[in-house]
Amino acid sequence: MLYPGEIEYRTEQRRRKEGIPIEDETWGKLGALARDAGVAHLL
């Protein structure tokens, strides 16, 4: 049995530990936007 909000809490804790998954295509687009704006990005 899960309590209200428990799934969200567990998901938040996992993402704080492991990070938030971002598809490669999306990450590439974000990198291009950063480059075009003259903003350095990591990874």
Angstrom distances, CA of residue 15 to CA of 4, 7, 29, 37, 42? 19, 12, 22, 28, 19
pTM recorded for the entire structure: 0.58
Express each pLDDT in 25-41 by its tens digit.
999 998 899 889 988 76
pLDDT band at residue 6 under the 50/70/90 scheme: very high
25 within some domain: yes
pLDDT at 11 over 90: yes
What's the structural domain count of the chain?
A: 1
Residue 43, pLDDT > 90, answer no
Cα angle 17, 42, 39; round to 5: 130
In a domain, 41, yes or no: no
Residue 27 lies in a domain: yes
Q: Indicate whether 13 belongs to any domain.
A: yes
Give percent of the chain with pLDDT exceeding 70.
93
Is 32 within the bounds of a domain? Answer: yes
